[in-house]
Structure 1
Amino acid sequence: QQEEDEITDLKVLVDAVNEANERLGIPEQHSPWLPALPDSVELDALPAPQGAGPLPPAPYGIEDLPAQQARRTVAIDFADFGHLIVGGAPRSGRSQMLRTIAASLARTHSIADLHLFGIDCGNGALNALTRLPHCGAVVSRNQTERAVRLIGRLKQELGRRQELLAADGFADIAEQRAAASDPEQKLPYTVVLLDRWEGWLPTLGEINHGDLTDEIYGLLREGASVGIHLVITGDRSVLTGRISTLTEDKFAFRLPDRSDFSMISLNARNIPEDIEPGRMFRAESGLETQIAVLTDDLSGAAQAAAVAAIGEAATERDAAVPRSLRPFRVDVLPSRLGFEEAWEMRDVQAQEGSKLWALVGVGGDELMGFGPDLADGIPAFIIGGPAKSGRSTVLKSMALTYLQQGVRLVIAAPRPSPMRDLAGREGVLQVFTEDDIDEDEVHDLLKQASPDEPIAVLVDDAEMLTNCDAGDEFKAIARRGAERGWALVLAGDEEEVASGFSGWQVEAKKARRGVALSPQDPSAGDLIGIRLNRSSVGDQVQPGKGLLHLGDSEPFAVTTPLA
């Protein structure tokens, strides 16, 4: 009864103020008694927000201001935006908020000014963002390798931007963009959308004992000043713990336990009993905000279609933006592909520069065919892996590459192998099938080589030939092959090949180049010159999946082609 009396008194006071304003000729700015916020509001119906920066703000909702008897559009304005953390129960509007924010940003800003990335640890609601030309990647929680690549690229970009700003004496990205005379020199704002923190923590968040989670925290601490912003949704776990201390801008949708609103400094007694989907409350002030939807049809399919429509319009609008100003990509590795398909994706410049370049697999953030150039450095390469991991297939892919480029081959296959099928092919000088190889025969074959007409020796199941008679000839290839037009590629079991302290295989290992297929033990990294941690090994053997190292200390995942 006391609250009702206070409301009545307030109404009388407001009516008196409005009457006085009318007599003085002061126009009424808004209705003194606004109805409740609507259960849904379309993005197109939001009033244009007022921005303080050079870029227009991107609206995503409407906020109720009861003390002023007014409403205002809530928008992301990079003039003062840092990060945003939003907690809520399932089906409270978390994923829709991320879709609305992404679509509004894409509609408002050019690709040259804004890049988007998504991490979907839920049911795939963010997949629709791939239709936006601003979006470099949407990674799901079961794409471990791809998530590592994305977070790694973001971390590199953070460091690059920090160095760039420090070198020119800029305090933040706003100063850099204001000072840049050439539009192509302006750093773009990067927004990372992470859906369902509770899905991140037990999956991607556990990789390498929480390394990716630590890197997310690093982006939250240091990213905003250089233009890398995060919007993270989750259940109550996102509103508590370490992550909640890294930004002040927090909201909460409906929570299963009303007492959880205390985590954003709100009294549960001041929160309505029934909270509609899409309605959230700002930390500390408790202001209500209704998230906008993209179309009046609230189904997920309709909202995804609206995102696609915005993406088509943005693609047409920004068609002239050069590739250098577009977001970096983090492509999905194909599960399997054929040799011809992989050959079309090869690095043409690397392949044309040397006859001893060979295709191993397809990988990288922007999918491309990669392989070693054995005319450079120690001319040796190791293919290691457990049984049924695809070692012989990789060796055959390299053989087909060499044959297409006019490289002659000497093949050793002491066990049944696809490499034996190459016997009789033009350019194949000899196929050895015994478990020992005569040194003189190999010596006579290698005498035919020259830098212009190289010969590659390809050995399958190399662990069977560790002590073969031709070992000294193979060792000579690893030591002096570069100037004589020789190259050596060996494939074998990761636990046995190149073992011990001496021999021709140990000499080949000094090249520190190779591919580890489905590694089962950290020691497999020694074969190719890298260090593997335990979280990178021991998974189920997947034929054609491996880590390629080309000697630059930056291994990356590849899919090897079927040959």
Structure 2
Amino acid sequence: MDISPPPSPAPAPPPPFPVLGVAAPLVVSVAVWAVTRSPYALLFAALGPVVAVAGVADQRISGRRSARRVQRESRAAVARLHDEVRARVAAARVALRSRAPSAREILDGGANPALLWRADPGDDGALPIALGTGDAPSGMVWRGDPDARVPEADGRDGSGALRRLLRRGTARPRAGGAPARDPARWADLVRWIPDAPVLVSAAGGLGLRGAPALVAPVLRGVVVQLVHALPPDDLRIASRPAGPEWDWLERLPHAADGLREERPGADRLAAQGSAPGEPGAAAIRLVLGAREVVLAAAPRVESLPAACRTVLDVRGPGTARILAADAVPDALASPPSADPAVPGLPAQGGDGIPIPRLTRTGLVRPDLVSLTEVERLADELADLARRRGLAAARAPLPSRVPFAELPIGGGPDAAGGAGPARRPGTLAAVIGVGHAGPVAVDLVADGPHAVVAGTTGSGKSELLVTWMAALAAAHPPEEATVLLVDFKGGAAFDPLLVLPHAVGLVTDLDGQGARRALESLRAEVRHRERVLRDAGARDVDDPAAAGALPRLVIVVDELAALLADQDGLHEVVADIAARGRSLGMHLVLCTQRPAGVVRDAVLANCDLRLSLRVNNEADSRALLGTVEAARLADAPAGRCLVGAHGVPARPFQVAVTTSDDLARIAAVRATAVPVRRPWLDPLPASVPLADLAAVPPLVRHGPAVADGAAPAVPFALVDLPAEQRRATAAWCPATDGHLLVVGGPGSGRSTCLRTIRASAAAAGVEVLRVPPDAEGCWDAVAAVVARVRDPHGPRGPLLVLADDLDVAVSRVEPDHQAALLEGLAAVVREGPHVGVALAVSARRAGGPLQAVAAAAGPPVILALPTRQEHVLAGGESRLFDAHAVPGAGEWRGERIQVARPPEVGTPSASRAEATRPPGLADPAPRVVLPGDAVHALVTPTPVIAVARLRESGVDAVEAARIPPGWSSDQPFPGSAADGVGTGATARPRVVVGDPDAWLMRGPLLADIRRTGDVVLEGCTARDVRTLLRVRAAPPPLAPVPGRAWRITPEGEIRRCSWPPATPGSPAPPVRQVASAPAAAAVAGPAQPVGISR
């Protein structure tokens, strides 16, 4: 506020002498006398000067009278200004004293009782305290001209009134000039408040330098002000100096549990100082709201903690100088500023902190408080706390609290006592005992989410178990459920699984588990949104949604370890943190170090915060706004601090929960209605095929799209975490097409096909299993091709199962592979039109089975060695699992577990075998040569073959010994007796030669083929094409002795076993043999054998 002096009265100028007034009458009188010559005319000449002199005298008399009136008015204005300044100064002094009563006023009873425990730190958190008294700034500024004199106040020089004012104490004499004539005296009078409290912020900490005998009374006075201003709920004394003279601190109701003795450390205001424990040093640590305040004293400034922003140099009893100050902006009547003009007062302190002009000279007169006075005050405050119901706040914390001794429910606030047993719409749970009794936490009232911090061994898991047990004891499963996530392995949460509230336990999330977690939590969010939307409710507390959704508490232990590998979970956690309140989803996030682990977006919604012992002060301050969590004792375990939004952190002892406690809760809360589970367990490693009947299908198939199509065949269990359910994977050939099963060794490919075979057999579907050997594979494909292309063949559904088809194809010689693959392609293309479906397993989808893979539907992808192979097989990269169990895989973008087929010998297995059609024809029956015809044998060892044939009773002769021109209708040129003859015989007759010999005797071979068989033993497919002039490859032969090809007169190429059956011996029954499938698949004129049931 600006103060300006009243205007000074200007002195009136003296009246001028009227020269013309005097001269004019003289001139006129002389003129009259000259005319009249009367002497009386000369009398008028004297009258003019007389009148002029009289007028001048009158003007001077009137000027003096006006000047005295103006002086009186000026003196009155000065008096009014002085009274106004004194009133403003007195009001400012009263305002400062009411803002922060001094220690002396508090102890002498002069402080306003209404101010006890009623202080408000304000938005800036600056709690003012009085360092003492001194000339404090008033906030008023003298705006007078520094060169102008103050108006006189007594009619002469005006100094009397001001001198009298100065003698009263409002100003002090100053050398040089009268006080009233010195404008600087008025500036001092206006600017400073004599004997006013000098206020600083207690939140910035206070350091006192001086001898112990001088600083101890001052430090006691500061503590007196703080414990008088703040109640025990807002101010806690965390540590005290050593020595019996400080025992009175423990008698205050503000003393924390387990008050420690502490000395100031080796830090100083600006640089490192002396070692800790310096003689004469003392420190008191206070917890003020969410901050820590340090009050310290030391013989040297260098020994004071750096946290002290206000430093006072106590020079003697009642005399101290301010070295640095953390001023209270709104307590200063004028903005703080450094004033180096004050002699002996530096502009900055030792650490560069500007020193505000708190006093005119930088000196204060601190209040000195005796030990007796503070002991009496401590007893009075303790008694007052007891009378106000705060005495229990000083009850020591127990070292162990059994869960059975806790009340069931809890109050609404995080640190209050126990309240009603249970209130609807809350999640109140009593979890321990504090100074004031049972401590309850409520995720609804104090949350909606919570963060729990604590180092290893501090009791985090025990706290979570107790919390969930208390929650279950206070609320039925219809109101609250619990999902447990423990990245350490789940051992700590295992006891909670007996509770009906537990809906799942998730442990050790790998890549697949993390994805399931993401999908399941997102699905739960969508489910709750859908339920609330259908009910027309805004949130779970809306009466329209009453009973529709129980609250879900998601407890996550070791959050840091979980998010280190699965960062995507943080987005889901943040989403639940933002929307969980309305959806009834509450997070309890547990970590060793909350700083840097829990993101601000999540932490902003976690108003309920609990901390056991942590390793450093930064973690404690980041979570609770105080360092007390870092100073919790190692023993007993379970010491914890709990705080909520707007409620300071308070200590309590966590209760200990036993398995008997959980069993009792489970018995009381048992319900006949199962609780809906938002989290499904991972698919089991083994699923019996019979269990699929109770699981709904993944896709509900309608009627077959083609006549004779096979029905859906269930074969696996599907994991649908995004829909929070499981389903049956059923292969429907009519809609899914052919099925390709891809997997590495031991992945369960064969099991998958066996399961499909058993499931199809149970549905009455005809099944053909393709043998794994080259001959069987060829014949089976040939039979299926014949069935597909036979216009008059059966049209019923047929499932063709080929296990390890890629291996079977590789066993076929290169000459036969192309024809075999073409036959498979024909089945793939044409089979669905006649009800034939193909299910094939292979190690990879490419290679020779590329055509089959391209025409098949979505593949079943089981375990593969690498992610790249998984993707190349048609799978999704996110579903690759390097540690998949046998049978685990992917189908249609979902995780599956192939069901286990019935054991051999069970009725289901017997039905599966019974529905298998009769076996294919004998791949190589023993050849029987009719005796009414001549036959040809092509072998690389004709001499040996002739000898063996003759020994077996067959007439044989080498082709080289047949005379030119001989024909098969002529007598055979040889006999078993002499080797050459012309007589006919009823025994089989064979002409033997190697491929070269027969190549030279082409006409002979052609003649024999008209009526007899040609057998090629030990030859190649090239020999068949060269000698017989055919394009189609013969059926493949197994690499076993005695395998041969037999070409009938009709041109069919069949396998047979050589040597032939001997004459007279019973011939084996002739079984149908499949002819070359290449002719059926490529050329088309062959007559392959069909498959009968």
What's the TM-score once normalised by structure 1's chain length?
A: 0.76
Unaligned runs of 5+ in 2: 1-215, 221-239, 241-246, 253-374, 413-421, 704-709, 811-816, 903-1093
Partner of 1:314: 669
> What does residue range 336-351 of structure 1 map to in structure 2 within 5 Å?
336=686, 341-347=688-694, 350=697
Distance across 2 between alignment mates of 1:446 and 1:224: 66
Q: Equivalent residue of 1:372, what SS? A: strand
> Does the CA contact (< 8 Å) of 2:478 and 2:550 recur in 1?
yes
The residue aligned with 1:25 is none
What corresponds to 1:119 in structure 2? Answer: 485
Partner SS for 1:490: strand
Partner Cα separation in structure 1 for residue 401 and residue 596 of structure 2: 26
Amino acid at match of 2:430: Y
**Contact 2:447–2:607 (CA<8 Å) still a contact in 1?**
no
Q: Deviation per CA, 1:254-281, whole angstroms, max 9, x where unpaired?
A: 1133453222254436864525321212
Determine the structure 2 residue equivalent to 1:531: 876
> Does structure 2 conserve the Cα–Cα contact (< 8 Å) formed by 1:494 and 1:524?
no
For structure 1, list consecutive stretches of 5 or more residues without a partner in the other structure.
22-27, 295-302, 417-431
- Residues paired across the two proteins, number: 497
Aligned residue for 2:541, secondary structure, equals helix
Distance in structure 1 (CA, Å) of the matches to 2:441 and 2:628 = 28
Q: Does 1:189 align with 2:546?
A: no
Q: How far is the alpha carbon of 1:253 from its aligned partner? A: 0.6
| 1:291 maps onto 2:654 in alignment | yes
Could you say if the C-alpha distance between residues 504 and 171 of structure 1 is closer, same or farther in structure 2, counting changes exceeding 3 Å?
A: same
More relative contact order, 1 or 2 (CA 8 Å, 6+ apart): 1
Q: Contact conserved, 2:788 with 2:836, CA < 8 A, in 1?
A: no
Aligned partners of 2:900, 2:394: CA distance in 1, in Å? 64
Secondary structure of 1:277's match? coil
Using the alignment, how far apart are the partners of 1:76 and 1:161 within structure 2? 21
| Deviation larger for 103-112 or 393-402 | 103-112
After superposition, the Cα gap between the structure-2 partners of 1:214 and 1:477, relative to the gap in structure 1 and judged at 3 Å, is: farther
Note closer, same or farther for the CA distance 1:278–1:239 as it changes in structure 2 (3 Å cut): farther
Counterpart Cα distance in 2 of 1:82 and 1:33 = 27
CA-CA distance at 1:140 after TM superposition: 0.9
**Counterparts of 2:448 and 2:789, CA distance in 1:** 64
Give the superposition deviation at 1:361.
3.0
1:411-459 deviation line (CA, Å, top 9, x unaligned): 224459xxxxxxxxxxxxxxx7336865464332686554xx4211112
Match of 1:12 in 2: 380
3-state DSSP class of the match of 1:233?
strand
Return 9-18 or 99-108, whichever deviates more.
9-18
Contact kept, 8 Å, 1:250 with 1:282, in 2: the verdict is: yes
Which amino acid in 2 is paired with 1:287?
R
What is the 5 A alignment of 1:161-200? Answer: 161-165=528-532, 170-175=537-542, 178-180=543-545, 183=547, 186-200=548-562
Deviation at 1:240, TM superposition (A): 4.3
Query: Which amino acid is 1:138 matched to?
Result: L
Task: Tell me the equivalent position of 1:85.
Answer: 451
The change in CA–CA distance for 1:79 and 1:449 in structure 2 (over 3 A counts) is farther
- The residue aligned with 2:520 is 153
Question: How far, CA to CA, are the matches of 1:11 and 1:373 in structure 2?
Answer: 84
Which of 514, 518, 521 is matched with 2:860 structurally?
A: 514
Moved more, 282-291 or 237-246: 237-246
Give the whole-Å Cα distance in 2 for the aligned partners of 1:332 and 1:415: 38
1:36 alignment partner in structure 2: 396
User: CA–CA distance in 2 between the matches of 1:545 and 1:95?
Assistant: 33
User: Is contact 1:239-1:263 (8 Å) kept?
Assistant: no
> 1:49 is aligned with what amino acid?
G
Q: Distance in 1 between matches of 2:396 and 2:541?
A: 37
Structure 2 Cα separation of the partners of residues 311 and 478 of structure 1: 58
2:837 alignment partner in structure 1:
487
Residue 405 (structure 1) aligns with: 763
Matched with 1:461 is 804
Alignment of 1:321-400 (within 5 A): 321=673, 323=674, 325-336=675-686, 341-347=688-694, 350=697, 356-364=711-719, 370-400=728-758
Moved more, 440-449 or 152-161: 440-449
Partner secondary structure for residue 290 of structure 1: strand
Amino acid at match of 2:852: W
AA matched with 2:505: V
With over 3 angstroms needed to count, the CA separation of the structure-2 counterparts of 1:57 and 1:260, relative to structure 1, is closer
Amino acid at match of 2:541: A
Alignment deviations for residues 155-191 of structure 1 (CA, whole Å, 9 cap, x no partner)? 111123234445666432212xx2136x4xx112111
Matched to 2:728, the amino acid is: F
**Cα 1:238/1:125, change in 2 over 3 Å:** farther
Distance 1:161 1:460 in 2: 46
Q: Deviations over 1:20-55 (max 9, x none)?
A: x6xxxxxx7564564212122233433442359624
* Displacement after TM superposition at 1:214 (Å): 2.8
Give CA deviations for 1:94-122 in whole Å, capped at 9, x if unaligned.
11111112222222222222222111112
Compared with structure 1, are the counterparts of its residues 32 and 97 closer, same or farther at alpha carbon in structure 2 (3 Å cutoff)? closer
Distance, in Å, in 2 between the alignment partners of 1:193 and 1:256 is 23
1:272-291 aligned at under 5 Å gives the runs 272=631, 274-275=633-634, 276-282=636-642, 285-291=648-654
- Identity of aligned pairs, percent? 20
Task: Report the alpha carbon displacement of residue 507 of structure 1 after superposing the two structures with TM.
Answer: 0.7
Matched, 1:224 2:574: no
* Contact 2:480–2:552, Cα closer than 8 Å, also in 1: yes
Where does residue 568 of structure 2 map in the other structure? 211
Structure-1 residue corresponding to 2:430? 60
Deviation at 1:77, TM superposition (A): 4.8
The equivalent of 2:613 in structure 1 is: 254
Aligned partners of 1:164, 1:562: CA distance in 2, in Å?
39
Deviation at 1:149, TM superposition (A): 2.3
Q: Any idea what SS the aligned residue of 2:485 has?
A: strand
* CA distance in structure 2 between the partners assigned to 1:228 and 1:198 by the alignment: 21
Q: Is the 8 A contact 1:219 1:228 kept in 2?
A: yes
> 1:84 deviation in Å?
0.9
**1:561 corresponds to which residue?**
900
**Match of 2:271?**
none
Q: RMSD value over aligned CA atoms?
A: 3.7
- Asked if 2 retains the 8 angstrom alpha-carbon contact of 1:37 and 1:290, the reply is yes
Residues 866 and 882, structure 2, Cα contact 8 Å, conserved in 1? yes
**Matches of 2:694 and 2:752, distance apart in 1:** 17
For the residues of structure 2 that align with 1:30 and 1:504, how far apart are their CA atoms? 83
Separation in structure 2 between the aligned mates of residue 396 and residue 55 of structure 1, nearest angstrom: 54
Counterpart contact for 2:753–2:841, Cα < 8 Å: yes
**CA offset at residue 381 of structure 1?**
1.8
CA distance in 2, matches of 1:408, 1:151: 43
- Superposed, which structure 2 residues align to 1:415-430 within 5 Å? none
Distance 1:219 1:377 in 2: 40
2: CA distance, partners of 1:265 / 1:329: 32
The one-letter code matched in structure 1 to 2:800 is V
Q: Offset of 1:224 from its aligned partner?
A: 2.8
User: Structure 1 195/270 Cα, relative in aligned 2: closer, same or farther at 3 Å?
Assistant: closer
Work out whether 1:97 is the aligned partner of 2:463. Answer: yes
The one of 512, 522, 545 aligned to 2:888: 545
Instruction: Give, in angstroms, the shift of residue 403 of structure 1.
Output: 1.9
The structure-2 alpha-carbon separation of the partners of 1:233 and 1:289, relative to structure 1 and needing over 3 Å to count, comes to same
Shift of 1:79: 4.8
- Deviation, structure 1 residue 5: 3.9
Classify the secondary structure of the residue corresponding to 1:539: coil
Distance 1:475 1:313, change over 3 A: farther
